């Protein structure tokens, strides 16, 4: 029982990341009709926004202390981050909380990147075949990740979670189980909660605002909304920007879980595409549900009991599910009938 | 460029063969006249020609063809280990195995079209890649990659210590040092290696040309143009697609085999989806659906990869040493983004530029230049004759 | 003898009854026109005949064989060819290729792996293809790529693509829509000419001039069911038909 619970928990954070990325992919596909292979790169850019912000915060002032000498006879260097020097304790707090604080930076940055991408490139591909869209965004993804590699190197860069979230929560004790049966890292719980909040926010935005209403109508029937004379162009841009922000935030918060490197996006992209297909192309609910479902399935597949039954299953479970879904129910779990079924 | 007549085809084939065979001389002036690079042109050219039979003719975009390349490489190295260092059995088995693997994957993937097809092929290829790294390590030797070893002492059947090579043993082949792949004794390194690949490329080109001109090829084009109409015309499109998929898988298997022939080593990274992306890129770059395009694209990419990745900052500093120091530093630091390690950035950019501005690839570009030239001539002719050309 | 028998076919889309208890017999060699207001279900009926849609219930017997449940290519191989309401041709191939393909499908069946012989070397097919293009008046443009054709020419090409297969039953969905008067008359002549070859035809048409110059029998479809059937003269004077058309026009 607790083993199962633990696996469910284990799947939640990864599932959250899949769901967030798949949500953006689906938004872009459902409204703009764009198959965006550069969406993973947006996740990666989000992660590196956090990395840059952290670097910025930890830029150090070097003061030479002539009173003390190192064993080599040089003056001792005292390094303090500028922010600490300037803001004292508040500065310390900022350094400690750099990952969550990066969210504030990432929102405008990712929005800008998304808008530039849509205006500069994606827009010209609305009427081109899907194959062309795949190809051009694939090229863009390579470009983005190579630029990041140039500036940040090829190695993963670990990011610390704030101190109070270090360590693990005894989830089992909360549920009235014996102490220590289910312990789970705090930050991964936070990640799950965070993804839930972002997803809820996106859905609220789409359900409750008139803007969202138009977008949803657009997802149902693009031609008609175009005919209504609503300025669809500008809305498309904003939707794409929104998708970029969601992917970016997913990336920011994931950095303490998995140290980002330049191709982290590609890995998530392939999986997220599979998630979208399983959920149903163009179905937002499907994307979210499939994200969590596959995350959890994956963590179950990596249990030793299961692995000994079917070796290697943890590596391929997601792809396997996708293949089966595509063959028996091509529109996906929650896709609408007739939408890209063949 | 060439008329669609039998004679035009033979002419095209003759020129192609001549260029490939004379490549060592022809490409020497641009610094590509050595076997290591030329055989890469040939191998990836073959890969792209095969990919084009699927993508270029039918429009079905597979993102998983690297899997067949990988199967070809693994099968070849295994044949080296089990049978003989002679390349013929290895190549034949590789092509057949890759074909069977393609039959399996194609049978399932082709039940869908469009982007679903792309994602299915991607999913299968990633599965293969992941499995090659994990459970299949006994066959693939995981991250280290599969290698050829010296002959085992008689009776030992442990591949960690030595290979079997039943045929070689039976024929009493004596090995000195690291075993080399060979064609009845001719070592497959250096120029002989290149010419072996070149022969494969020429044969592959010829087959592709025949396919493209056959009624099978016409059906494939019709699928790309309007699959619906074809169905209502009484054609069962799926077996045609499957045949194209398997043929292109066999080409990929052949290319993989040649990679292992020229360097007897097979690793899983050859199956990764970025490798599948590379062959898409080559095909598009040259011109999907054309005969020469894929080879052209593969060669151009491998050539620039070779040049660009060899350039480093020192070289750049030398080249721009005539600039004042400050300007020189700026120029070098910008350019260094695109060379050496940054070659992939250039590749990505090139890819985008081609898709955006020249969807027909380099062949279309050449065609445009030719027609521009012709039009210019025609216009002056027309002016003289007073009639529209 | 009836070559085609449609027996109690029903088709609904969601709540919409597109076809309701549809029965029809088409005699061999007849030119059977189906007329009716927009949205009556005419194209839907054809879609059921060629395997694009599966009706909810009913049977369709063609030359003694059940049609329903077969794939489009199988139905075509039985001898049914269709001209669509919006032209379905191979846009980026030449006209000659466009007619060669159905000719090959007719001769080689639904699949034949002929990957070696040059198409161009199959002289018999080529002659036949050029002849049919001549018949529909497109021979001049045989090496042109189809996307350059006018809408009327595309329609004629599609007709040629069907005719080269010598189908036993030809389905024509508004073959003259969007054509000029002259082109329409040329098409009527063409259809009369192929009538001499004994091909059974079902024609859906809004243009009454076309209907009355060609049809040997007319059925009237309104809101998914046949409301009248008979010789052209009988249909002309039928009050129910006039009512259906007027009602359809008002709706
Ligand atoms: N695939 C479909 N899904 C839902 N409704 C459909 C579908 N195809 C047709 N319909 C509906 O069925 C009805 C009949 O359509 P159909 O195209 O058969 O009419 P028609 O008689 O051919 O009209 P027209 O003369 O305009 O071509 C229409 O109301 C149409 O909207
Ligand atoms: Mg209609």
Ligand nearest to the CA of C34: 1
Distance from CA of B205 to the nearest CA of C (A): 13
Three-state DSSP at A330 gives coil
Name every chain A residue with its beta carbon within 8 A of the beta carbon of B356: 121, 124, 136
Contacting B residues, span 330-349, partner chain A, CB-CB under 8 Å: 337, 341-342, 344-345, 347-349
Partners for C (CB, 8 Å, 3+ pairs)?
A: B
- pLDDT at residue B388 in the model: 33
Task: Mark whether C240 and C120 lie in a shared domain.
Answer: no
Distance from CA of C242 to the nearest CA of B (A): 35
Judge C/A contact: 3 or more CB pairs < 8 A: no
Grade residue B381 by pLDDT with cuts at 50, 70 and 90: low
Task: Mark whether C174 and C243 lie in a shared domain.
Answer: yes
Q: In the structure, which protein residues have their CB atom closer than 6 angstroms to any atom of ligand 1?
A: C 13, 16, 18, 36, 38-44, 85
pLDDT higher than 70, residue C251: no
Quote the pTM value: 0.90
Tell whether C64 is covered by a domain: yes
Let me know: does B221 contact C93? Beta carbons within 8 Å.
yes
Per residue in C218-239, pLDDT tens? 999 998 999 989 988 888 878 8
Distance from CA of B222 to the nearest CA of C (A): 6
Percentage of residues in chain C with pLDDT exceeding 90? 57
Task: Mark whether C130 and C251 lie in a shared domain.
Answer: no
Name the residue of C13, C177, C204, C210 to mutate for ligand 1: max ligand atoms within 8 A of Cβ: C13
Task: Mark whether C161 and C216 lie in a shared domain.
Answer: no
Name every chain A residue with its beta carbon within 8 A of the beta carbon of B338: none
Q: CB distance from B254 to chain A under 8 Å?
A: no
- Write out the DSSP string of C13-45: ETTEEEEEEEEEEEETT-EEEEE--TTSSHHHH
Average pLDDT, chain B: 87
B172: alpha, beta or left, given left = phi > 0 and alpha = psi -120 to 50? left
Per residue in B135-150, pLDDT tens? 888 888 888 888 888 8
Ligand nearest to the CA of C37: 1
Average pLDDT, chain C: 89
Subunit contact C72:B231, Cβ cutoff 8 A = yes
Q: Mean pLDDT across the stretch B244-249? A: 97
Of C140, C166, C192, which marks where a domain is finished?
A: C166
Nearest CB to C104; choose among B215, B221, B229: B215
Hey, how many other C-beta atoms are within 10 angstroms of the C-beta on C170? 24
pLDDT higher than 70, residue A204: yes
DSSP state of B86: B
Task: Mark whether C66 and C20 lie in a shared domain.
Answer: yes
- pLDDT at residue B1 in the model: 39
Nearest CA to ligand 1 atom 18: C41
- pLDDT at residue A329 in the model: 84
CATH number of the domain that C104 lies in?
3.40.50.300
Grade residue A229 by pLDDT with cuts at 50, 70 and 90: low
Residue B111 is encoded by which pair of tokens?
């039940």
Per residue in B2-28, pLDDT tens? 446 788 889 999 999 999 999 999 998
Per residue in A60-79, pLDDT tens? 777 777 777 777 777 777 77
**Alpha-carbon distances of A275 from A34, A320, A332, B256, rounded to whole Å:** 16, 12, 10, 31
Q: Show the domain range for C143.
A: 80-166
Tell whether C53 is covered by a domain: yes
Contacting B residues, span 188-247, partner chain A, CB-CB under 8 Å: none
Three-state DSSP at B36 gives helix
Tell whether C90 is covered by a domain: yes
Residue C171: strand pairing partners: C82, C202
Ligand nearest to the CA of C83: 2
Subunit contact A136:B347, Cβ cutoff 8 A = no
- Residue boundaries of the structural domains of chain B: 7-310
Task: Mark whether C187 and C227 lie in a shared domain.
Answer: yes
Q: Mean pLDDT across the stretch C154-179? A: 91
Question: What stretches of A121-183 show up as alpha helix (H) in DSSP?
Answer: 130-152, 171-174
Range with the largest mean pLDDT of A282-286, B192-196, B340-344:
B192-196
Partners for A (CB, 8 Å, 3+ pairs)?
A: B
Task: Mark whether C198 and C224 lie in a shared domain.
Answer: yes
Let me know: does C112 contact C168? Beta carbons within 8 Å.
no
Angle in degrees, CA A321, A326, A328, rounded to 5: 95
Let me know: does B72 contact B256? Beta carbons within 8 Å.
yes
Count how many domains chain C has.
2
- Residue boundaries of the structural domains of chain A: 2-56+101-328
Q: Mutate which of C51, C74, C90 to disrupt the B interface (most B C-beta within 10 Å)?
A: C90
Grade residue A341 by pLDDT with cuts at 50, 70 and 90: very low
Tell whether C181 is covered by a domain: yes
Tell whether C75 is covered by a domain: no
pLDDT higher than 80, residue C243: no
Let me know: does C50 contact C233? Beta carbons within 8 Å.
no
pLDDT higher than 80, residue B174: no
Name every chain C residue with its beta carbon within 8 A of the beta carbon of B235: 73, 101, 105, 110-111
Task: Mark whether C173 and C229 lie in a shared domain.
Answer: yes
Nearest CB to B232; choose among C50, C111, C114: C50
Contacting B residues, span 161-190, partner chain A, CB-CB under 8 Å: none
Q: What's B7-310's CATH class?
A: mainly alpha
Task: Mark whether C142 and C211 lie in a shared domain.
Answer: no
Per residue in C51-103, pLDDT tens? 999 999 999 999 999 999 999 999 999 999 999 988 899 999 999 999 999 99
Task: Mark whether C96 and C130 lie in a shared domain.
Answer: yes
Of C166, C195, C219, which marks where a domain is finished?
A: C166
Subunit contact B218:C91, Cβ cutoff 8 A = no
Q: CB distance from C147 to chain B under 8 Å?
A: no
- pLDDT at residue B250 in the model: 98
- Write out the DSSP string of C99-150: HHHHHHHHHH-S-----SSBGGG-HHHHHHHHHHHHHTT-GGGTTSBGGGS-
Indicate which atom in ligand 1 lies nearest the CA of residue C47. 18
Task: Mark whether C230 and C155 lie in a shared domain.
Answer: no
Angle in degrees, CA B106, B108, B113, rounded to 5: 80
């Amino acid at each position: 029982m607790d083993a199962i619970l633990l696996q469910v928990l284990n799947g939640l954070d990864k599932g959250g990341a899949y769901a967030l990325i798949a949500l953006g992919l689906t938004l872009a596909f459902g409204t703009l009709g764009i198959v965006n292979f550069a969406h993973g790169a947006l996740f990666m850019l989000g992660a590196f926004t956090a990395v840059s912000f952290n670097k910025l915060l930890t830029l150090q002032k070097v003061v030479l202390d002539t009173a003390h000498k190192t064993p080599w006879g040089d003056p001792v260097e005292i390094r303090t981050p500028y922010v600490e020097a300037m803001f004292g304790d508040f500065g310390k707090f900022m350094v400690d909380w750099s990952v969550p604080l990066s969210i504030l930076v990432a929102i405008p940055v990712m929005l800008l990147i998304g808008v530039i991408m849509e205006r500069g490139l994606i827009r010209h591909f609305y009427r081109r075949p899907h194959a062309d869209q795949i190809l051009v965004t694939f090229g863009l993804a390579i470009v983005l990740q190579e630029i990041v590699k140039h500036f940040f190197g090829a190695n993963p860069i670990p990011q610390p979670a704030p101190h109070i979230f270090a360590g693990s929560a005894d989830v089992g004790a909360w549920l009235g189980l014996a102490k220590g049966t289910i312990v789970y890292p705090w930050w991964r719980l936070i990640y799950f909660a965070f993804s839930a909040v972002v997803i809820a926010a996106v859905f609220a935005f789409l359900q409750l605002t008139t803007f969202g209403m138009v977008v949803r109508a657009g997802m149902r029937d693009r031609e008609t909304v175009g005919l209504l004379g609503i300025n669809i162009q500008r809305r498309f841009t904003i939707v794409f920007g929104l998708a970029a922000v969601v992917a970016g935030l997913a990336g920011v918060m994931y950095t303490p879980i998995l140290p980002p490197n330049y191709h982290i996006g590609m890995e998530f992209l392939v999986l997220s595409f599979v998630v979208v297909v399983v959920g149903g192309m163009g179905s937002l609910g499907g994307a979210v549900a499939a994200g969590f479902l596959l995350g959890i399935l994956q963590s179950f597949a990596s249990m030793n009991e299961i692995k000994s039954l079917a070796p290697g299953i943890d590596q391929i479970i997601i792809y396997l599910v996708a293949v089966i879904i595509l063959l028996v129910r091509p529109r996906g779990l929650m896709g609408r009938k007739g939408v890209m079924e063949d | 460029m060439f008329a669609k007549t039998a004679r035009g085809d033979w002419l095209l084939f003759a020129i192609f063969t001549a260029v490939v065979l004379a490549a060592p001389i022809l490409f020497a002036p641009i610094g590509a006249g050595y076997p290591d690079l030329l055989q890469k042109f040939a191998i990836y050219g073959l890969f792209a020609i095969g990919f084009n039979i699927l993508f270029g003719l039918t429009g079905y975009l597979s993102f998983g063809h690297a899997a067949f390349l990988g199967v070809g490489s693994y099968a070849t190295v295994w044949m080296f280990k089990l049978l003989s260092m002679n390349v013929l059995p290895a190549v034949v088995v590789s092509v057949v195995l890759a074909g069977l693997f393609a039959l399996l994957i194609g049978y399932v993937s082709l039940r869908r079209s469009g982007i679903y097809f792309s994602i299915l092929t991607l999913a299968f290829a990633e599965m293969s890649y992941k499995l090659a790294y994990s459970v299949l390590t006994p066959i693939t030797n995981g991250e280290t990659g599969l290698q050829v070893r010296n002959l085992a002492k008689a009776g030992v059947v442990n591949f960690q210590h030595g290979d079997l090579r039943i045929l070689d043993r039976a024929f009493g082949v004596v090995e000195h040092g690291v075993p080399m792949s060979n064609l009845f004794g001719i070592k497959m390194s250096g120029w002989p290696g290149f010419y072996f690949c070149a022969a494969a490329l020429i044969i592959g080109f010829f087959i592709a040309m025949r396919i493209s001109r056959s009624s099978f090829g016409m059906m494939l084009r019709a699928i790309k143009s309007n699959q619906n109409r074809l169905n209502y015309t009484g054609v069962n499109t799926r077996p045609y697609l499957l045949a194209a998929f398997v043929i292109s898988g066999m080409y990929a298997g052949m290319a993989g085999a040649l990679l292992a022939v020229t360097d007897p080593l097979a690793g899983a990274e050859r199956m990764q989806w970025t490798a599948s992306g590379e062959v898409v890129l080559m095909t598009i770059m040259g011109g999907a659906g054309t005969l020469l395009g894929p080879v052209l694209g593969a060669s151009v990419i491998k050539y620039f990869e070779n040049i660009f990745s060899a350039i480093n900052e020192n070289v750049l500093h030398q080249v721009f040493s005539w600039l004042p120091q400050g300007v020189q530093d700026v120029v070098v630091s910008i350019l260094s983004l695109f060379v050496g390690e940054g070659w992939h950035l250039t590749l990505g950019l090139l890819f985008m530029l081609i898709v955006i501005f020249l969807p027909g690839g380099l062949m279309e570009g050449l065609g445009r230049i030719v027609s521009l030239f012709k039009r210019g001539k025609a216009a002056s002719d027309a002016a003289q004759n007073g009639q529209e050309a | 003898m009836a070559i085609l028998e449609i027996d109690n076919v029903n088709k609904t889309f969601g709540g919409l009854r597109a076809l309701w208890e549809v029965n029809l017999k088409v005699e061999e060699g007849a030119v059977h026109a189906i007329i009716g207001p927009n949205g009556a279900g005419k194209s839907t009926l054809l879609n059921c005949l060629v395997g694009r849609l599966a009706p909810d219930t009913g049977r369709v017997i063609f030359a003694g064989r059940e049609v329903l449940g077969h794939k489009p290519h199988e139905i075509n191989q039985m001898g049914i060819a269709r001209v669509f309401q919006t032209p379905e041709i191979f846009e980026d191939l030449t006209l000659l290729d466009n007619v060669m393909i159905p000719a090959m499908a007719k001769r080689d069946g639904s699949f034949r792996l002929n990957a070696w012989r040059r198409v161009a070397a199959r002289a018999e097919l080529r002659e036949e293809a050029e002849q049919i293009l001549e018949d529909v008046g497109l021979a001049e443009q045989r090496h042109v790529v189809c996307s350059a054709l006018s809408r009327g020419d595309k329609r004629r090409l599609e007709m040629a693509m069907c005719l080269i297969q010598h189908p036993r039953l030809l389905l024509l969905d508004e073959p003259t829509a969007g054509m000029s008067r002259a082109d329409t008359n040329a098409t009527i002549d063409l259809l009369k000419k192929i009538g001499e070859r004994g091909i059974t035809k079902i024609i859906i048409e809004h243009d009454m001039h076309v209907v009355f110059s060609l049809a040997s029998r007319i059925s009237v479809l309104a809101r998914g069911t046949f409301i009248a059937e008979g010789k052209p003269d009988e249909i002309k004077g039928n009050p129910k038909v006039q009512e259906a058309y007027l009602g359809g026009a008002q709706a």
